[in-house]
Structure 1
Amino acid sequence: MFRRREAVPFAFVAESDRFRSNVTPPPRERLRPSEVLGRTLIGLTVVAGLVGSLVLGMPSLQSGDAGGRQQSEASHGR
């Protein structure tokens, strides 16, 4: 494959791992109230969807004998 032609001293590579910059990043911008409200509404929508899916899915997760009784009664009738 492709090989580098110039050698890289190992000390340079090791030094790059612990390099710290003395330049501080700019301060983070504050979110506008409309952005906070939008993110809150999105979060509430996701939570409401999860809760709704649990409420609608719980009857199918319950082990009831109603389905088994109907099937057994139908098989005894023959």
Structure 2
Amino acid sequence: MNKLPHHVFTYIRKHFREGYFSNIESIRDKDGHLLFRAKIHENETIHHLEFNAQGSLLKHETEPMFEEDYYEGRFYGEE
């Protein structure tokens, strides 16, 4: 893997003090540009980050760490 730009670590340290990495990778886009993708878990949310080779944030998407329970019926044994 290529070395992460300093700006990537700076951004993550500033915005995700309580988070932890679950995955980080370097890839090339269709035009051959180097990109870095990081997956960070924090506060029951998964953050998907994408940075360019200079360390600028290009994309930030989130998803819940746990699916919400949509069960609307009564609990078993409850009247």
**Which TM-score bucket, shorter chain as reference?**
under 0.3
The structure with the largest helix share of the pair is 1
The structure with the largest strand share of the pair is 2
Please identify the structure whose Cα radius of gyration is greater: 1
Q: TM-score, normalised by structure 2?
A: 0.21
Larger RCO, structure (CA 8 Å, separation 6 or more): 2
